[in-house]
Structure 1
Amino acid sequence: MPSANFTIDPRSGAGVINRRLFGSFVEHLGRCVYDGIYEPSHPTADIDGFREDVKDLVRELGVSAIRYPGGNFVSGYRWEDGVGPRENRPTRLDLAWHSTETNEVGIDEFARWTTSVGSELMYAVNLGTRGVLDALDVLEYANIRSGSAFADARIANGTHEPHNVRMWCLGNEMDGPWQLGHSTAEDYGKLAAQTAKAMRQVDPDLELVVCGSSSAQMPTFISWERTVLEHTYDDVDYISCHAYYEEKDGDLASFLASGVNMDRFIETVIATADYVKAAKGSSKTMNISFDEWNVWYIERYHQIDKITEVDDWPVAPRLLEDCYSVADAVVFGSLLISLLKHAERVTSASLAQLVNVIAPIMTEPNGEAWRQTIFYPFALTSRLARGEALNVRLNSDSYDTVQYGTVNVVDAVATHDAENGATAVFIVNRSPDAVTTVTIDVSSLGDVVIVESHIISDDDVYAANTLDQPYRVTPKPVSSAVLVDGTLTIELPAVSWTAIALRGA
């Protein structure tokens, strides 16, 4: 039986947890917006046409900030199409996803929706087919109180108070050949710097995100980050990371170790940003916005879902509607562990996406909404991970993988909230077939008790929640957890993710 051990010590802080780490992403893609969050004919629809049952699940998920409106979609988006009377809004072709965009939902409706679910709006500007002036126009529309053309247009459209959007993404995946307006690092870096400088002339306190590589597998990875940051370092606050993972060719062992890749990705980007910082002699530290991450079976999209017919431009087609398994949820939970371990520098993250499209929440038109397996690790981590992430000094047995070499069987992180003494620990057993014993020294916390525990595992690692069986997979209490004399011992099933909350006795 493999084993692992680690120590939870509230003095071993690894970074304060920014609530934006539990953000998500809504793109005008497939059924994410239309027939997802927005369905005016649904029995639960509110006055703006948004589903109340979906809003309830978004609140339960604990989403802090939501990136909008894309994604690839934003590089061809004309934001002004989505404001004003709905009957006057034009219908456009969305080249990113070969669909028709009705523009029924735009920045005003979406901003109201984010407020209604207790989230913050994070807005992406079009630097693909547009540029500096368009970014200034939408910023003026969104944030200026009154007295200018675009601010007064917002008021005339029925939104009297500014949206006060604080965080802005300067384009999306501009290194990708699939992106409208695809650019070189040199050209994009110059445009992003110009845009950032211009936006700061409107409001110097905006938080700006520059595009990093669209994945660590891009041939320009790291050289892109270095060049872009050399142009923008003084003008932006974050560089973005994007990463998606999927099980390939039945290689479950490698898939379960996806967090190893995320760790390396983050640490490489940090090292590159710190190199640029040193080269510039800057005193500013660049943070990371990991504003796209998830399990995504992208090969399925290219083989089955992708729309290519010249005359086929459907409205809200069923695209990227992955059905997530227990194994997917375990990997998903391990990615959250990776983000928390790097909380000092990863201060914003966006789960891509929120509803229907590679999402924790699924819906049917005029029907039910339900939680996918990945819903649970996100909701539990968002609720329990408070205060500061801790370095747990993990020792673990290892196993071999095809993709990532020899990796630890167990990965873990702990969090501690000094204000109320609450501690949480999150653990993943990556072994495809072995129960693993984990021993945790919690003596530095004093006299504590387990107040709640949750585990995601199943004899069938490919079990999933569906419309017909929405509760097939749910978290269960951790029956094996024993806490005696400052030592917490747990036996973790193969392919499992666990969360345990502790508090003073």
Structure 2
Amino acid sequence: MTDARITLDPAFRLGTIDRRLFGSFVEHMGRSVYTGVFEPGHPDADELGLRTDVLDLAREMGVSVVRYPGGNFVSNYRWEDGVGPRESRPTRLDLAWRSIETNEFGLAEYMAWIRRLGAEPMMAVNLGTRGITEALELLEYCNYPGGTELSDRRISNGDPDPYAVKLWCLGNEMDGPWQMGHRTAHEYGRIAAETGRAMHRLDNEIELVACGSSGRHMPTFGSWETTVLEQCYDQVDYISLHAYYQERDGDVASFLGSAVDMDAFIDEVVSTADAVQARTRSRKRLRLSFDEWNVWNQDRFGGEDSLDWRQAPRLIEDEYNVLDAVVVGSYLISMLGHADRVGIACQAQLANVIGPIRTEPGGPSWRQTIFYPFALTAQLARGEALRVEPDAPLIDTKAYGPVPAIAAAASYDAATGQAALFAVNRDSTNPLTLTVDLRALPGAQLRTHKVLADDDLRATNTQSHPDRVVPRELTGHVDGGTLTVTLPPASWNVLELSTTAE
């Protein structure tokens, strides 16, 4: 048994937790859309072909915003193909994922799905094979009330009210050589600036996300963000980050510690953005959009060139285990720990494609293990994120050196007096005794301690055993303003606390 200590004090606030931190991502890739969120003829499909069982699970997850339609897909996408009568929509070749795209699901279906979900839309525009004109046309179609050719086309297609889309991504991963229309930093920075300027002329209430480098591992990382932001800083509100992690060569310790890489990634992008702000003397403080993140076993994917031309193939449908869920929980902790700067985060993706939700065509849907940390964090992380500085032993890792045995974040809602502490025990063999100083939270009591852990770290949820892995409740006690609980080995935990509201 090892020990760790944490102090919770509502005076030490990081920032308000933006509900957009609990976003997801739906891309025309594999079965994310077709037989994922959309399947006409399914027993649970509504009149538009939207799977209501998946909608129910997405609501249970607490998904607040959904990025669409990509991803790599957007850089070869013609948005006009996905509006109007379905029988008139063209079938196209998607170059990103070498798939046949029927366009049965398009902008109208996405917006109907978003409204039924109760989430906010986040649209990406094609700055790969298209440009400023097409971005403006899409914006006008979505947001202008009526009286122009494009807005009247939306109305004639059955949507009299504007979609009122506020969040817009200016392309996707434009520094990636895999991207259709791949650009240099200077080329992208200029088109992002000009597109942003034009889009704001049409609708000055929108918020824009510039493409950051495709990952911290990219040779362009850092210099890309600097060059891009020097050109478009005043036109955008966010810079994007993308990161995927996986267990390599059975190195459990490094995998459990991988959130320290995410922390460093966020800190470096913040530093770069702030340096550009200083040089440009801008009064605006840029925020971050971590709009692709998850565990993805990329070593199992043969790459785009390994794919055949097929319609909605089974593609990177990773089956997540207990260890994956614990690690996903640690990434959510990283987001909360940077709530002062990270304003948007989208777990990629929602259904089937590295998704927390799995479905079978014509059959059931179920929750993967990674569903639970997301759903419980979205439910309980309310109000302000608190600064948390755990005092804990260190664990040696091959990939990241010594890392703290515990990762933790906390929230406090002064209006309700509710607090929550999120914690991961990174030690895969030993439980950890956690003591939490609650003296700054009058009347604090432990309501629940929920944990995701299992003696079998490789246990998964499947179609035949959908509830093999679920959170369970543990006990703890508060004595003299100090909470004491035990965190099992390799576990994700959430401690829900009630206090005397201010």
TM category, shorter: over 0.9
Aligned to 1:252: 252
Q: CA deviation at 1:255?
A: 0.4
Determine whether 1:192 maps to 2:188.
no
Q: Partner amino acid for 1:354?
A: L
Aligned to 2:84: 84
Q: CA deviation at 1:499?
A: 0.4
Cα distance in 1, alignment partners of residues 449 and 5 from structure 2: 18
Aligned to 1:490: 485
Q: CA deviation at 1:436?
A: 1.1
Show CA shifts across 1:469-502 (max 9, x none): 10000000023x2221111111111110000111
User: Which of 477, 491, 500 lines up with 2:495 in the alignment?
Assistant: 500
Q: Secondary structure at the match of 2:302?
A: helix
CA RMSD in angstroms, aligned pairs only: 0.9
Kept after mapping to 2: 8 A contact 1:98/1:308: no
Q: Partner amino acid for 1:6?
A: I
Show CA shifts across 1:342-388 (max 9, x none): 00000111010000110000000111000000000000000000000
Kept after mapping to 2: 8 A contact 1:209/1:236: yes
Aligned to 1:149: 149
Kept after mapping to 2: 8 A contact 1:398/1:408: yes
Aligned to 1:477: 473
Aligned to 2:12: 12
Kept after mapping to 1: 8 A contact 2:67/2:124: yes
User: Which of 363, 366, 383 lines up with 1:367 in the alignment?
Assistant: 363
Kept after mapping to 1: 8 A contact 2:277/2:283: yes
Q: CA deviation at 1:448?
A: 1.8
Aligned to 1:293: 293
Cα distance in 1, alignment partners of residues 257 and 149 from structure 2: 52
1:56-455 correspondence to structure 2 within 5 Å: 56-302=56-302, 306=304, 308=306, 312-455=308-451
Cα distance in 1, alignment partners of residues 182 and 145 from structure 2: 34
Cα distance in 2, alignment partners of residues 354 and 308 from structure 1: 24
Cα distance in 2, alignment partners of residues 32 and 16 from structure 1: 31
Cα distance in 1, alignment partners of residues 367 and 338 from structure 2: 27
Cα distance in 1, alignment partners of residues 434 and 327 from structure 2: 18
Cα distance in 2, alignment partners of residues 301 and 318 from structure 1: 12
Cα distance in 1, alignment partners of residues 388 and 293 from structure 2: 24
Q: Secondary structure at the match of 1:413?
A: strand
Cα distance in 1, alignment partners of residues 57 and 305 from structure 2: 30
Cα distance in 2, alignment partners of residues 189 and 504 from structure 1: 48
Q: Partner amino acid for 2:457?
A: V
Q: Partner amino acid for 2:197?
A: K
Q: Secondary structure at the match of 1:395?
A: coil
Kept after mapping to 2: 8 A contact 1:2/1:409: no
Kept after mapping to 2: 8 A contact 1:23/1:63: yes
Cα distance in 1, alignment partners of residues 2 and 279 from structure 2: 45
Q: CA deviation at 1:330?
A: 0.3
Q: CA deviation at 1:2?
A: 2.3
Q: Give the fraction of aligned pairs with identical amino acids, expressed as a percent.
A: 56
Show CA shifts across 1:238-259 (max 9, x none): 0000000100011110000111
Q: Secondary structure at the match of 1:439?
A: strand
Show CA shifts across 1:432-464 (max 9, x none): 211111111011101122222210000001101
Q: Partner amino acid for 2:323?
A: A
Q: Secondary structure at the match of 2:234?
A: coil
Q: Secondary structure at the match of 1:28?
A: coil
Q: Partner amino acid for 2:439?
A: S
Moved over 6 A (4+): none
Q: Partner amino acid for 1:38?
A: F
Aligned to 1:22: 22
Cα distance in 2, alignment partners of residues 32 and 313 from structure 1: 17
Cα distance in 2, alignment partners of residues 302 and 492 from structure 1: 38
Kept after mapping to 2: 8 A contact 1:67/1:291: yes
Show CA shifts across 1:169-202 (max 9, x none): 0000001000000110000000000000000000
Q: Secondary structure at the match of 1:445?
A: coil
Determine whether 1:459 maps to 2:455.
yes
Q: Partner amino acid for 2:335?
A: L
Show CA shifts across 1:10-69 (max 9, x none): 110011100000010000000000000001110011010011111110100000000000
Cα distance in 2, alignment partners of residues 338 and 36 from structure 1: 28
Q: Partner amino acid for 2:232?
A: T
Cα distance in 1, alignment partners of residues 306 and 391 from structure 2: 50
Q: Secondary structure at the match of 1:213?
A: coil
Q: CA deviation at 1:283?
A: 1.2
Cα distance in 1, alignment partners of residues 88 and 240 from structure 2: 35
Cα distance in 1, alignment partners of residues 118 and 200 from structure 2: 27
Q: Secondary structure at the match of 2:440?
A: helix
Q: Secondary structure at the match of 1:121?
A: strand
Kept after mapping to 2: 8 A contact 1:14/1:390: yes
Show CA shifts across 1:403-449 (max 9, x none): 10111000101100011111000000011211111111011101122
Gaps of 5+ in 2: none
Q: Secondary structure at the match of 1:293?
A: strand
Show CA shifts across 1:269-325 (max 9, x none): 00000000111111110000000000001111127xx5636xx31110000100001
Cα distance in 1, alignment partners of residues 202 and 494 from structure 2: 44
Cα distance in 2, alignment partners of residues 394 and 7 from structure 1: 8
**What is the number of equivalent residue pairs in this alignment?**
500
Cα distance in 1, alignment partners of residues 135 and 415 from structure 2: 40
Cα distance in 2, alignment partners of residues 470 and 462 from structure 1: 15
Kept after mapping to 1: 8 A contact 2:419/2:499: no
- TM value normalised by structure 2: 0.98
